[in-house]
Amino acid sequence: MSQPVATTTPTSKPKPCCVCKVEKATRDECLLKNGEESGKCDGMITSYKKCMAGYGFKI
């Protein structure tokens, strides 16, 4: 007998707005205070991108 094939459904992946909320809030606050060009928020931006990538989102 063959093994059942796992199927992914759209509901199995969370919505982008519902994940990495802490990282997003920290990043947004830094960007508002310092601006992206300052370079002060690069670590927070990277952290947010890694978090989102962990859920399968590419930014």
16 backbone dihedrals φ, ψ, rounded to 5°: -60, -30
Residue ranges of the annotated binding site for Cu cation are: 17-18
Cβ contacts of residue 44 below 8 Å, gap of 6+?
23, 26, 27, 30
Residue ranges of the annotated binding site are: 17-18
